[in-house]
Each structure stands twice: as C-alpha cells, then as structure tokens.
A and B are shown apart, each in its own frame.
Chain A
C-alpha cells in the first residue's frame, strides 16, 4: 500500500515468541518492507585471494572454521529496519521485535556493521505480511476470529510467501505492488506473478476496508459523491449486493472510482482481478472467495454482504482513499461560498 490510513497506527499485537506456534502469537511489523542484507562474495575479490583456507584437519583449524562460519551467520542474519512509510528513519513507536528461528532483529538501529571491510554488500527486499489494523477478534460477530485467523494467517500469508518466491527470480523484483499488479496483468494474459501479487494487494486493501463498529452511513463528501453517482445510498447498497451475488466462482466486488468517467462505480471481478488493472482507483474491496465467508455463513452470501455493508465497512478508510483519489481525478470544482 502506498498510502496507509491513520487507523493503522492504533494497531499493536504484543508477544514475542521464538516458535511460530499460533497465529495470534506471531507479531509482524507494520512496514511492508524489511531488508535482508546479504554478502556478495565476488570470486575475483582480492580479499578472498588473500584469505587462506583454513586447514580443517587439525583441531585448531576446525575451531577457526567454526568461528568463521558463526561470524558469517551473524552477519547474514542481521536485519535492518527499513524506513517506514512516513519516510523517517526511526522505527515507528509501535514496532515490535520479531524473533523467529531464522532472524533476529535489532530495533531502532540504522547502522549495520560491516564485519569484512571492503566487501560488497547487496541489499534485497521482499514483501511481508501486513497486519490488519485491528485485533483478530475485533470483527466479531460478523466475521469470526477463526475466519480472520485463517484468511489472514494462512491464505494471505501463503500469497505473500509465493509472491516472494516468484520475486527471487522474477524480472518484477523491485516493483511496487501496484506497479506489479498492473504490469503482470499484461492486458488480459496474466503472467505468473499476477495472481499472487494481485491477491496480496487486494487482501491488504480488504483488511483496511473494514473496521470494528463499521458500517452505517458515510458522511459528508463521500455520501454526496455516492448519491451523485448512484442516486441514493440504498441504490448503491443494492447494486453492490447484486454485483457480489452475481459472481460465479471466486472473485471480488469493488466500489471504485473510474478515472476517465470521473465517477464511482461498482463492479464484480473474477479470481484476483482488481480495478487497478483497468487503471481505476479502488475505494472498497470485498472478498467473495468462499474462504472469506464459508465458516461463518456457509453458502448464505447475501447475509455476508449485508453484514459487511451494515456493520464492517470502514467509511473512514473510504474517506481517506477518496481524498487521495482526488489528487488523481478531478471530481469537480469545490463550492466556495460567495460572501
């Protein structure tokens, strides 16, 4: 996400665990990038030539080799916190320590030591699982904790991991997520990274489209825009529900701002497609894949959509997204009162 609405800042999940046991005990950082440093050993490096290989036949040699390996490991496992979205170098106040079997993170430390001076270091970055801006059980009873745990912890996570796996060898490494979605869609003949990158983007968007105690009516400019483009608010809800129920198979339903026509519209899409691929700006996204509602509603999709619209949708994020969209789309002249 390029733009993260302020409600993200309220999030914090406590708990540090060395074992990845249950989803609720895992903590993830807010920022969507963290950096792994790797050492590059160029075979032509003079330093390597200068490095005499240790003779591992003797006991001493073995010890030296062991120490070397440990040192290497430490170096490789050092993580530096990437600058978060606000651009400042300091880790945000809500950052928590990750500790897993593989990584140790040092918080608030921006320098990374170079144990072997003169060697080249390459910094690589991959995507990580972003956290919903609320506790996992905050959306009860409309979306159960179990659904959120599995949907986020397993499905969304799986997409992130698969995306990272692709990115290790893909030409799209280094693209931002939105860029990647548009590029890999390839005008209808999607490339292999499309499904995963689009799913990651859409799921991030989906979690942020909801909030506990959401729903009810939007206010102010958003309501005016909806009334302008749909007639009445009820009309919009009906259209949204109809589009959601018209999907056969897995898909998403979106409220999005059409750039060319400069109006809001509702559209259903299949599998992992989002309005990004049409060059439009999504405003609300609802996951209509069965895994999003089956545990709670089984096959009663209309109840799921109605509950989403009445109790879950975050009009606050909608407002923030519309504000951002107005930087790209001219929705009309403001009414400046004449004195």
Chain B
C-alpha cells in the first residue's frame, strides 16, 4: 500500500488519494468538502513531499534534421543497364540530398518542422503562390515517390484492378504508354509525368462534385512543371517519371522518349503502382463517405434552424357532415 498522499490544493493528507505519477489528481467537490471538514492531524504518517514540478518547461532543442534522406530501396547499380549507377548515385546523392538539406535549413525551428511531408507540400503550395521551401519539400516527396516506383527487373504488365482501370480509361497498356510518352515529350523544360487517380472532386477545398461525370474516379496522365505534383490538385499519384534532364542525360542524352519507354518497359514496378491505386481508391471512397455524411449533417442542422415551432400533428381532414338518412 502506498502511503497516503497529500492533496495538492489543500495540503491535507487524504487516505484514499494514492500517488499516481502520471495523473494529476483532481479532487471532486465531495472530497473537497471532506477535506474542509477534517483536520490536518488525521494520520500520524509523515506526508511525503510532492515532487516539485518545474513551472517553466524548456523547449527541447530543435532537431537539426527534421527530414532525413530516405535510403534507396535497392543498391545504386541495381537498375543497370537501363539507368546507370552513376545517374542513380548523382541523382540521389546530389540532387535529392540537396533538396533535403535545403528543406531542413529553411524549416528548422519553424512550425513546419513537425508537419508530415505530404502536408507540408500542400501547405507550402499555398494555392499557387508557393512559399520559398515548396520546391524543396515537393522535390523530396517526388523523388521518394520516384525511387519507389522503380525496381530492379521491373516492367511486365499490370494486373487486377489496375489493369482493368487502364483498359477502361485508356484502352490498353500501349495507349497508356503512348499518352505518357506524349506528355513527357511535350513537357517543355523540366518536370514530371504522372499517372494519377482522379477522384470525385472539383479541386478546391470542400468540393464534392454534385454532378458526377465520366471525368471522375478515373486514371489520368498529367504532366507538371519543375517541382509541382498532382497532390496539389487533389489527385492521388500512382506513378512518377522524372523528366528533369539530370535524370536521363548521362544515359540517354537528349532522347527523352527512349528513356520513358525504357522506364515503362524495364524499370517500373507495377506492384507498387497497384498498391498505391488500392490505397488511393480506399482513401477516396472513405473521404467521400465522410464528406457526404458531413454534408448531410450540415443540411440537417440548417433544416433544424429554419424550422419554427410548428404543430406537426396531422390536422383532421375536413369532411362533409354525413347526412342522416331519412328513413
């Protein structure tokens, strides 16, 4: 049995109050009443002193590296001969790491340091007027995504839901490849090419599309400039191809088309893409349900506010008086 603890507010020893180190015990009104009525010399046991709590808690030192560079899921030379070791090494070590370091340097000590990366990308995009560290946050996210989209010995064909959706929305895998090629070749300058799942949304905040159309809940190929990603348009990205020149220049020089076709034939990991699709569809449907429920609740609230005290009892129908039959 632990010794009786003294009440923090009145300093009286209370037999039923046991010390629990993590709880700040609050006395109920009845207990306080008891405290008031009893005298201090109830027990002979010494009162254990309460551990003093520092009134001012010093903030822990800010983490100098809120974001760490995620290691590659395969060694540098695993993607040979389609993507050389040199390219992978330079791309990851210099460009990706450079973005991580710049991001850490900018957000260290600010409120953004505790955010998740995806959240940070969306916040810093700031609806098209990006904050200075948007490019770094977005590029870190994009590159993580990119490395995971590839695998040694990749390629092949998609399966199951992904295959069904590709065939429904593009016709065939070849058509999809053509569209991706087209997007990559028409992206002027640097950027990314994405296959994304477009859910049932209009693209602004609280925006359930009230008139679902064929354009919703489908796969789309999009291209983005520089560091932008389809996250900012509320799409769910499934695969990413980096068409910045540093991603392919040493292996393919200016032949971006060749790089993209080799990526789709030999490097892509359709399993990862399928997983992402499943995840995306699940999240999208969950979100939709939640939002529909919220919308319904809002409507009900509004309805309740509009309604005044009205007698809802059914009024008796006005019937003509039945004439007594005159016999």
Contacts and interface: CB of A to CB of B under 8 A. Distances in A.
A199 B226 CA distance: 18
A289 B94 contact: no
Nearest to A300: B94
Interface string A131-167: 0000000000000000000100011001000000000
A195 interface: yes
Contacts of A290: 190, 244-246, 249
Nearest to B135: A248
B225 interface: yes
B95 interface: yes
Interface string B223-258: 001110000000000000000111001100110000
Interface string A245-257: 0001110000000
A248 B188 contact: no
B227 A291 contact: no
Given A271-B189, A295-B250, A299-B95, A289 B245 contact: yes
Contacts of B282: none
Contacts of A121: none
Nearest to B245: A290
B227 A295 contact: no
Contacts of B74: none
Contacts of A295: 249-250
Instruction: Assign chain A's interface to a size class.
Output: 10 to 19
Contact of B249 (A195, A248, A250, A294): A294
B250 A294 contact: yes
Contacts of B227: 248-249
Instruction: Assign chain B's interface to a size class.
Output: 10 to 19
A289 to B, nearest CB: 7
B6 to A, nearest CB: 63
Nearest to B90: A298
A272 interface: yes
A309 B304 CA distance: 74
Given A248-B135, A249-B226, A158 B254 contact: yes
B245 A291 contact: yes
Contacts of B253: 150, 154
B179 to A, nearest CB: 19
B254 A249 contact: no
Contacts of A158: 254
B88 to A, nearest CB: 13
Interface string A118-131: 00000000000000
A298 B94 contact: yes
Interface in A287-339: 289-291, 294-295, 298-299
A249 B225 contact: yes
Interface string A269-298: 011100000000000000001110011001
Contacts of A248: 135, 226-227
Contacts of A291: 245, 249, 254
B155 to A, nearest CB: 26
B254 A272 contact: no
B138 to A, nearest CB: 11
Contact of B94 (A150, A154, A249, A299): A299
8 contacts: A158-B254, A248-B227, A249-B227, A249-B244, A250-B190, A270-B189, A289-B189, A291-B249
